[in-house]
Chain A
Amino acid sequence: MNRIYLIARREYLSYVAAPGFWISLIAIPLLLVAAVMAPLVIGQAEPARAVAVISDDPALERVVSDAIDGGNLQAGQQPLPGDAMARYVVVPAPATTAEALTPWLVGERTVSTPQGELSLSAALFVTRTPDGGTDLQVWSTSLADREPVERAERALGDLMRAEALGRAGLSTAEIDRVDDLWPSVASFDPRRTGAEAEVQVADRAPFFVSVALSYLLFMLIFSVANMLLSSVIEEKQARILDTLMTSARLTEVLAGKLLGVAMVSLTLLTVWGVTAVTAARLGAGADPDGVVAGVFEALSDPVLIGMMAAYFLVGYLMYGAIFIGIGALCENLQEAQTLMGPVIVILMIPMLLILVAINTPDSEVVRTMAWVPLFAPFLGILRVPTEPPLLELLGPLVLAAATVPLALWVSAHLMRAGTVDQAAGAAMRRLLSFGRMGR
C-alpha cells in the first residue's frame, strides 16, 4: 500500500508541478467569474443612448417614454450594472419630423442629457390609427439595437388591450385582475403523507445533482483519458518500468498511477467545487426555497450523496484502468488515439442512456443496462434519487467496483507481455492465454 501511495504521490506532484495544472485550476473559477461579470462590465462600458419620442397624443408619448426611460437617470448618475434599459435616456425631441431630426440621428448635432451631450440613438414616432390602434415608426442608425423598440412595442400592445377591454366595459381593476390570472399547480408524492406529500422545488434537487454528476463523470473521463495514456506511454518510452518493477508489483505501479491522476482530478474538482458552492451559497441565501437551496439539502443527505459518490468514484477508476490498459498496449500516443476510437463509441452509449434515464430512470432499458459495468456508474448515479430496490442499487455498484482490479490486472498483464517481455504482438495472445498473473 505504501508503494502505491509513493507512486501515486510522485505522479500527483509531477502533474501539480506542471504549469498546465495551475492554468486548469484557475481557469474554471475565472471563467465562472467572467461569465457573471461580463454582462455587468459590458453594460457599464456601454455609453448612454438618447431616444426621442414624438407623438401628437400625450398619453401615447408618456406610455412609450415611461417604457424606455427605465433608469430615469438624473444628471451625473451612471446606469446600474446589468440594467440594460438604464442605458437609455428619453430626451425632448429637438424637432418633430424625421427629416428635421436627421442631423441629430446621424451624429452631426447633439442633445443635452443628464449623461452629457449625446447624439440621438433613435427617434420613435407614435401615432393613433383611424381604427383606434397605434402605429410606431422608428428612425435610427443603430439597426441592431432593438431593445427600446421592443419595449415600446410591448407598452403599446398593453395599452391597446387595456383600451379594448375598457371599451368592452371592464374597469381598470378588473383588467389588472384578468392579467394576473394563472393556474395553480401542485405535485404530490404518493409515498409521503400529509404536508410532506407535496413536492417542492427542493425535492427535485437530487435529480438535478445526479444529472450534473453524471455529465461531470462523463467529461472527467474524457479529460483524464489523455493524462493516463500519456503517463503510461511516457513511462514506457522513458524506460523507467524496469527500475520500478524491482521495487513494486506492476499492478501496484499501475494502481499508483491511477490514484495519482485521481488525486489531481480531486484537487481540481475541490477547488472548482468550493468556488461554485461559495457562489451558489450566496444564491441560496437570496432564494431560500429555490433550486440552489434544494441542492444543498440534497448534498446534506449522506446516503444519497454517498451512493452517488461511490458510483462516481468507481466509474472514474474503472475507465481510468481501461485507459491504462490501452496505454500498456501502445508504443506512442498516435497508436493510443487509434485504440481510443472504440472506447469513445462505447462511451457514447451511456451518453444516450443518460438522456433516457433523465426522464424515465425506472425504465426497463435503464434498469437492465445499469447492470453492465461500463454503463453502471452513469446510470447508477441517475437512479440513486429514485430510491430503487437495494439489490438494484448495490448490485451494479459491486459489479463495477470488481471490474476495477480486473481491468488493472489485465492492464498489468498487457504491460508485462507488451513491454517487459518485449513481445510486441504477443500481448493479446498472452492476455488470451490467461496465464499467471502479473507479479
Chain B
Amino acid sequence: MKRTGARSIKTAPFFVVARVEAILNDPILVVDGLTKRFGAHEAVSALSFEVPRGTIMGFLGPNGAGKSTTLKSIVGIHRPDAGQVTLFGGGLTRAALNRVGYLPEERGLYRKMRAVPSIAFFARLKGIPAGEARRRAARLLDENGLGDWKQRKIASLSKGMAQKVQILCAIAHEPDLVILDEPFSGLDPVNQADLERLIHGLVARGASVVFSTHVMQHAERLCRSIVLIARGRKVFDGTVEAALSQLGGEAVVEVEPGFDLAAALGARGVEASVGDREGVYRVRTEGREGIQRALAACVSAAAPLIRFEPVRPSLHDAFVQLVGDRATPVMRPAEAAE
C-alpha cells in the first residue's frame, strides 16, 4: 500500500476541515474596548476593531488621534488601562509577539551598526538563527535596492535608506502580522512605490498588514478595509467602498452658455451651484446614487449638455467628512509627537 506523507484536506475528517476553516477565518488581531490614559488624558477610548487574516488594513486618523498609542498597545509597548488585545487568538505572549513585525513612528537604529548586522540583530531577537538571519538580511537588502549598502554603517545612509532598513528589520523574521506606523512618511515617491510593492508582497506571502498614515492615497490604493479614529474614538470601521459611500454624489455639468441649469435642476429637487466659468455647474446629491437622478433631471429639463462628469469620490473627502471637527483635539505634548 502506498503511503502518503500528509493527508489532503479533501480527505480529512469533517471536524478537522471545519477547525482549519475556523482558524483561517479567525481574525488575526482583535482589539476589544482598548482604553489608554496618560494621567488625566484619555488617548484612546474603548476602541474595538478586528484585522482579518491576509489583509491590509489602514489605520487612519488626524494628528493626535491616538493611532500610535493604539499600535503601541497592540505590540505590548503600552499597557492598556482597559480592554484587551488578542493576537492570533491568544494573549500578548512572547511567542505571539515574535510573530509580529513592528515599525515605530519614531525611527531609530544603532547608527554605528552596519545594515546587515542591524537587520540580523532584530531577526535574531525574534528567534531566527544567526546564519539564517544574516542570509535573510542580505537577501532583503538586495531585493529592496540596498545591495550596495549592505556593509555600510547606518549613519552613512540617507534618511530614506535608513527607513527602508528599519522596515526590513521589522519584517526579516517573516512575521504573520506587520504593524507599520506611518511607514510612508519621509520617503520620496519612488521609495513610497517600493514600499507599496513590499506591502503587497507581504500579503502575497500570507501576512496581514496594519499601517497608519495621513496620506489617503496610500490607504486607498492598498487597503480593502480601514479604521478611522479621532480623539481616541473610532469614527469608522469598514471597507474603503463603505467609507466612500458615506459621501454624497457630485458631478461637474457643462451646458451651453445662457442656459440656467441651477434653476432647471432646482425645480426638480436637485441642487446645482455655479462653477468657475459660464455654463459650468457643480451638482451635489445626498447619496452617490443621486447622481443618476441628476442626470435624468438634466435630460428632463432638456438641458443643452456639453459635459456630464461624475466626480470620483476620494478617501480624503471621506476622511474630512467623517472626522469633521474632531480633527483638532487638545493634545498633551507627548501625544503631539504622533
Chain A residues within CB distance 8 Å of chain B = 3, 6-7, 10, 14, 17-18, 238-248, 420-424, 426, 436, 439
Contacts and interface: CB of A to CB of B under 8 A. Distances in A.
A17 B108 contact: no
Contacts of B121: 6, 10
B38 A240 contact: no
B136 interface: no
B78 interface: yes
Contacts of B282: none
Question: Which of A239, A241, A246, A423 gathers the greatest number of chain B CB atoms within 10 Å?
Answer: A246
Interface string B102-114: 1110111111110
Interface of B: 38-39, 72, 75-79, 97-98, 100, 102-104, 106-113, 121-122, 124-126, 166, 169-170, 334, 337
A7 B110 CA distance: 12
Given A10-B113, A14-B113, A246-B77, 12 more contacts: A10-B110, A17-B112, A239-B104, A242-B106, A242-B108, A243-B102, A245-B77, A246-B102, A247-B122, A420-B77, A422-B38, A423-B38
Contacts of B76: 245-246, 439
B258 to A, nearest CB: 63
A238 B111 contact: yes
Contacts of A14: 110, 112-113
B120 to A, nearest CB: 10
Contact of B75 (A18, A246, A421, A436): A246
- Nearest first, the 8 A-B pairs at minimum CB distance are A239-B108, A247-B125, A422-B334, A242-B104, A239-B106, A240-B108, A238-B108, A246-B102
B112 A421 contact: no
B23 to A, nearest CB: 24
A421 B38 contact: yes
Contacts of B122: 243, 247
A245 B77 CA distance: 6
A247 B92 CA distance: 12
Contacts of A423: 38-39, 334
B111 A420 contact: no
Nearest to A436: B79
29 contacts: A3-B125, A10-B110, A10-B113, A14-B112, A238-B108, A238-B109, A239-B104, A240-B108, A241-B108, A242-B72, A242-B102, A242-B106, A243-B103, A243-B122, A243-B170, A244-B125, A245-B75, A246-B75, A246-B76, A246-B97, A246-B100, A247-B98, A247-B126, A421-B38, A421-B334, A422-B337, A423-B38, A439-B76, A439-B79
A436 B124 CA distance: 28
A243 B79 contact: no
A239 B77 CA distance: 13
Nearest to A425: B39
B78 A421 contact: yes
Contacts of A422: 38, 334, 337
Contacts of B107: 239
A243 B337 contact: no
Contacts of B98: 247
A120 B166 CA distance: 76
B227 to A, nearest CB: 20
A423 to B, nearest CB: 6
Nearest to A244: B125
Contacts of A247: 97-98, 122, 125-126
A7 B125 CA distance: 8
Given A238-B111, A239-B107, A422-B334, A248 B125 contact: yes
A243 B111 contact: no
A244 B166 CA distance: 12
Contacts of A238: 108-111
Nearest to B74: A246
Contacts of A436: 79
B210 to A, nearest CB: 14
A72 to B, nearest CB: 61
A18 B110 CA distance: 14
A248 B76 CA distance: 10
A3 B104 CA distance: 20
A423 B104 CA distance: 18
Contacts of A244: 125
A6 B125 contact: yes
A423 B79 CA distance: 14
Nearest to B101: A246
A275 to B, nearest CB: 28
Contacts of A439: 76, 79
A277 B70 CA distance: 58
Contacts of B169: 243
Contacts of B72: 242
Nearest to A420: B77
Contacts of A245: 75-77
A339 to B, nearest CB: 22
A17 B103 CA distance: 27
Contacts of A421: 38, 78, 334
Contacts of A240: 108-110
Nearest to A239: B108
Contact of A6 (B112, B124, B170): B124
Contacts of A424: 334
A388 to B, nearest CB: 43
A239 B38 CA distance: 20
B78 A420 contact: yes
A10 B38 CA distance: 33
A18 B113 CA distance: 11
A255 to B, nearest CB: 14
Contacts of B79: 436, 439
A373 B46 CA distance: 45
Contacts of A6: 121, 124-125
A401 to B, nearest CB: 26
Nearest to A424: B334
A248 B39 CA distance: 26
A240 B39 CA distance: 24
A342 B97 CA distance: 40
Contacts of A426: 39
Nearest to A439: B76
A436 B79 CA distance: 10
Contacts of A3: 125
Nearest to B107: A239
Contacts of B75: 245-246
A171 B217 CA distance: 115
Contacts of B113: 10, 14
A243 B103 CA distance: 7
Contacts of B78: 420-421
Contacts of A18: 112
B108 A243 contact: yes
Nearest to A241: B108
